Structures are given as structure tokens and as C-alpha cells.
Chains A and B, each alone.
Chain A
């Protein structure tokens, strides 16, 4: 499966207890992603949507993957699920390399049919827009029953019972009647609940929620987040929440991974990321988040510029054209050398050329007071 030529800049992370280099024995973590790369050949060049991403996740924990549009968040989840080539017909297939270990099994080199059998059963996914993610011509019940019966050899009746049970669990009133409704007969929040019911119907151990609240009203968002949190406690699954909304990860995540240009720029426990972030991009994300406890006349601080092209990532640190501190490190190091993830404190990694003391000083003196 290692179809990509070695680029010689794999993010090797040597910290104890962290991800080891590719080709090593199976990991102990429930989910472990090693040096994941997903590249899409296009007419304009190779789009490196994910380019060397590694992380691990235990059962019962929630990982928040945060980043702008086009930072590779969604492609990461599709790569894990084996859906990165979905919908691609013809000659130009996505290229994937690296390792994805789920419960002791490596998925990328595995037989696609074996991965298919894991999909929906051991790993399930909640999508962004439940209206477009549910088939408009089939009833909610039928779609859940189908998801259940792919992996369970049961009759329609007991599968339907299971569907009603799940709809009840996710808080849909009169589930025995609503089970026969079509998606368009549900409100947005109800649809997302139904989507969650469908994802949970087989008790998956890994649940990936890709922007689960982006398409919903703010009031409904909170309900859905509560629901996901409760269900995780109940089912004990590992959860990956993909979002551009730091508020969502603040609600749910134990750990946070910040992506930029297809790579991880910062990773660590949620409280570390929120209270002692170590990367200028993370500062930017925090600065552009509205706060209700602040004076409304204070302006948000946006991250200047626009996300980089994934075909031609900037040399050196991919963030340097937008980084206000790109010229702080000596020489042209930010423009020539790609920074590797370095451990700041235990479990907290950051890929930045700024010396750690300087980062701490900028954060505590310049950034934090303005937030």
C-alpha cells in the first residue's frame, strides 16, 4: 500500500510512548494512525490533502481534529474509514499510504472487503449535513434497518425493533411512528439524531463525527453535542470529532489535534491547547473565536491570508506566509526548514521554529491578554 515515493520528511516522533516509525509492530492503542498520507492526483498537480499525520486514540476518549477548510480533516477521517476513493471512478484514484491500526488490525493494507465489513460495525461515521447524507427516497427506519442488517443476520422485524430502540435512545419522540418518516419530514436536529442512531446501531467502537453540528441551528448544536457526549459515556467508544469550531471541541474533546495544510501543527490535551497553546496558528484560531464574556466593541483577530494550496505548500513552515512571528527565528529557517513536531510538555506537541521560551512569552504577554 505504500504507493507513495518516500519524501524523506516523514514526521518521525520519537518521544516515549508516542507513535513509532512506520513498519513497526502493532500498537497497543485502540486506534493508531501512523504517517497517513492521502494524495489526490488532479490536472493541476498532486493535492496532498493529508501529508504525514500520526496520532493515537484510546477507547472512551475523544479526539478533536481542528483546522480550516481544506486542512485535511475530513480526508483524514475518510482515509481511516477506507472511503477516500469513494465516488472516484476512472483512472485517477486517490493515493494513500501509512498505517491505520484499529484494535490491532492494520486497515490500509487489508483486503478492502474486510475493511468494508468493519465499516458501520466497528467504525461508524456521522456526517455534516444530515439532509444530504440521508437517502431522500428511503424512510429513516429503512436506512437504519439496512445499516443493522448489513452486519447482523436478523429478520426485518427485529432490525426494525432495534431501529426504533435507537431512535428512542437518541431522543426522537414517538420513535415507533417516526421510524416510517422520510428524512425531509424531520427537522435538521432530528435528522442529525437519526443519523447518530444509524451510526450507533451496531455499537461501533470508533465513532467519527465529521462537523456534526455545522449544518444545525445553534440551540440544536448544543443538544447534539450533549447527545454525543452522553452516548460516548454509555457506549464507551473512541470518538473523533472533526470541526472548524473550537467551541465544539471545547465541549467534547479530551485531546485536540490542530491541522494545517494536511499536517498536524499542534497536538495535546484539550486544556493544554486552550490554556497554553504553543503554535501561532492555534493562537490565530483562538483569537478568531467570538467570546460572549468580552466587550462586543473588541474586534476578533482573524488569521490573515487564506489557507495554502495543497498542491504547492509553502516551503519551510507551511504557515509562515500567514504567521506574524515568521521572522522572529534567526536566519530564514521558517522559509526553508519544515518544523517537526516537538514535545513541549508531556503529551503536548507543537511544530514551530519559535524557541519555546519565546512562544511562552508571546502567548502570556501578547496573545492571552487580548483573548
Chain B
């Protein structure tokens, strides 16, 4: 088990390395071939050739690509220094470089954005798992009834409606019309009430989308499981229907739900782009959009790496969880 985890962690590291290299090449090498120069992006409106050359020197943009990549990796692990003659800028580990636009370190911007996305994802996750699974179970047990049809219609709507539609409607109604929600996002440790208030609508909007998927998945799984032989066995033992469903059927229903949940959460932690944009939440998704708009290569690279890390870790957690949930799965 431990050996497996170590092996998997190593694989995650390798994966991240590949992602880093790919992103690095895309951002720092391809533009050069296309005749564009990252130094100009950093320089912004300055076009003084000497200043550009200074930037190029300081960021090491004229070094061979592999050297650049190596420096970047070194920066991630041990920090690095950007030097141009007497002009020295220290960047402590993990160093993702400096934002082209704000000339701020990338890492603090990431660490500021991560808790926002985490809050959003975690809260929405609780809502959609509870809501989606409950709706799915009830739908399955009352298949063909009005409740089932209504729930599945709502679920279909939930899956089909994009967040920038439901989100804007929710904003229009609850924020502008009813004025229930106001103000900017605040970290939970600073102002829990404001944190909760600003996240409530994003939670619900995001949860609606996912709850719909989970309701359909749960319903389908539950219907399949209720036809299993071991459910008949449970009934043949004389168990109450409540126990048959709660202990025997639900136990099996969790497996696919957990699998999907791990992957969804992983992807979501990389940035709930639409939700964060719609509700102006300063999370990773918002950071990604802003950095792309600003052609802020180091920031894009940082967000990409963090997102990749979350997805890799989520995959690993799902695989480990599988062994916990299903005793037939042997890890090693």
C-alpha cells in the first residue's frame, strides 16, 4: 500500500514535470518562433531597446531553452534570483516567477486565490452531493411517478443551463432586485458572515449544475443495484426496506458517486472559471482569465501547474479511496 502510494506520487511528479515542460515550451519558446518576444510582453508599453535587453537578461530569456527550464524548476524547488548586473531580485521558493503585468511574485497571488476556489468548491460540493444523491435515490425508488419525472426534468434543466445564465439570473434577482447580497468576497477568517453571504449564490449555482448530474447518476446506479441479487438476499433475510436501501443499496451506490466526485472536485479546484467570473470571486479561475487576458505568461503557467496538481492529486485520492470503498480492489 505504502509502496503503491509512493509509486503513484512519483508518477504525479513526473506528470507535473511533463505539464510544466509543455506549458513552458508553449509560453516561452513558441512565441519566439512566431516572432514575438516575451520580453516585450513584460516590458508592456516600454519600447526602449536597452530596457528590453535588460529585461531579457534579468529573466534569462536569452539563455538556451533547457537552461531556462532548469532555472524555472530550480526556482520552484529552491527559489531563484533574477540578476541583471547590480539589479538583483530574490524570488523565494516556490518561485513561479514574476507576473509580467503587476511585476508581483506569482506564488502569493496563487496562494491568495486558492482558498477562494477551495471555499467555493467545498461548499458547492456538500450541497450537490447531498441534494443530488438524495434526489437520485428518491427518484429511483419512485420510478415513473410524478416526483421522479419532476426531479429528472429539473435535473435535465440543471445540466443544460450554463452557469453564466443561471448565475446572472440569480444575481439579477437576489442581488440587484432583492438586494439580499452585497459587498465583496472576504476570506472566512476575516469576516465569516460576508464570506458566507458572497458565496451562497455561487454555491447554489454551481451545485445546481453538478447536483443535476449526480442525481441522474445516482438514480441510474440505484435502479441497477436494486435489481441485484444481493438486494434480494437482503430482503430474504427479513430486513426492513429502509435497511435494505440504506445499508445494502446505498453502500454500492457510493462507489461511482465517489469516483466522479474526486474527478469533479479536482477539476473544480483548478478554477471554477465561469462561476468565479460571473460572481467576481478572486479565485483561481478568475486569476486564469485575468492572466490570459493580460498575456501574463508566468501567471498562466502558475495557474496551469496548480490546476494540474489538483487534478493529479484528485485522481490519486480517487484510486486510493476506491480500495477503501470496494474490498475487491487490491492496491499494489
Contacts and interface: CB of A to CB of B under 8 A. Distances in A.
Contact of A137 (B140, B144, B232, B327): B327
Interface stretch (B53-61, B68-76, B152-160, B236-244): B236-244
The interface centre, meaning the residue of B226, B229, B237 with most chain A CB atoms within 10 A of its CB, is B237
Contacts of B144: 89-91
Interface string B225-249: 0111111111111111000000010
B247 to A, nearest CB: 8
Contacts of A81: 236
Interface in A117-170: 117-121, 124-125, 127, 129, 132-138, 146-147, 150-151
A150 B328 contact: no
Contact of A117 (B145, B148, B238): B238
A117 B252 CA distance: 25
B327 A133 contact: no
A136 B327 contact: yes
Contacts, number: 88
A83 interface: yes
B229 A129 contact: yes
A123 to B, nearest CB: 9
A124 B234 CA distance: 11
9 contacts: A89-B223, A90-B148, A119-B236, A119-B237, A129-B229, A135-B233, A135-B234, A195-B233, A198-B237
A135 B228 CA distance: 9
Given A90-B145, A119-B237, A134-B230, 18 more contacts: A86-B232, A87-B232, A89-B141, A89-B143, A89-B144, A90-B142, A90-B143, A90-B144, A119-B238, A120-B237, A125-B233, A129-B229, A135-B234, A146-B239, A150-B238, A151-B238, A182-B327, A182-B328
Contact of B236 (A83, A132, A151): A83
Contacts of A124: 236
Interface in B317-332: 325-328
Contacts of A133: 229-230, 232-233
B236 A137 contact: no
Nearest to A128: B229
Chain A CB within 10 Å, residue with most, of B233, B234, B326? B233
B251 interface: yes
A137 B322 CA distance: 12
A125 B236 contact: yes
Nearest to B232: A86
A138 B244 CA distance: 13
Contacts of A233: none
B229 A127 contact: yes
A116 B235 CA distance: 8
B237 A150 contact: yes
Contacts of B231: 86-87
B330 to A, nearest CB: 10
Contacts of B328: 136, 182, 184
Interface in B32-77: none
Nearest to B254: A137
A137 B225 CA distance: 13
Interface of B: 140-145, 148, 223, 226-240, 248, 251-252, 325-328
Contact of A135 (B145, B223, B240, B248): B248
A159 B210 CA distance: 42
B65 to A, nearest CB: 51
A120 B243 CA distance: 15
Interface in A96-130: 116-121, 124-125, 127, 129
Query: Which 3 A-B residue pairings sit nearest by Cβ, starting from the closest?
Result: A120-B238, A90-B144, A119-B238
Contacts of A184: 327-328
A116 B238 contact: yes
B237 A137 contact: no
Interface of A: 81, 83, 86-87, 89-91, 116-121, 124-125, 127, 129, 132-138, 146-147, 150-151, 182, 184, 195, 198
A195 B227 CA distance: 19
Name the residue among A129, A135, A151, A195 with the largest chain B CB count within 10 angstroms.
Answer: A135
B235 A83 contact: yes
A51 to B, nearest CB: 23
Contacts of A127: 229, 232-233, 236
A240 B325 CA distance: 37
B240 A116 contact: yes
Nearest to A137: B251
Nearest to A195: B233
Contacts of A151: 238
Given A87-B226, A90-B144, A184-B327, A146 B237 contact: yes
Nearest to A125: B236
Nearest to A119: B238
A87 to B, nearest CB: 5
A150 B247 CA distance: 13
B230 A136 contact: yes
Nearest to A113: B240
Contacts of A89: 140-144, 223, 226
A40 to B, nearest CB: 14
B251 A135 contact: yes
Contacts of B236: 81, 83, 119-120, 124-125, 127
A340 to B, nearest CB: 33
B41 to A, nearest CB: 55
A83 B252 CA distance: 21
Contacts of B248: 135
Contacts of B251: 135, 137-138
Contacts of B233: 125, 127, 133-135, 195, 198
A91 B297 CA distance: 60
Contacts of B223: 89
Identify the interface centre among B140, B228, B238, B327: most chain A CB within 10 Å of its CB: B238
A133 B240 CA distance: 18
Contacts of B240: 116
Contacts of A147: 237-238
Which of A86, A118, A182 has the most chain B CB atoms closer than 10 A to its own CB? Answer: A86
Contacts of A138: 251
Name the residue among A116, A129, A151 with the largest chain B CB count within 10 angstroms: A116
Contacts of A120: 236-239
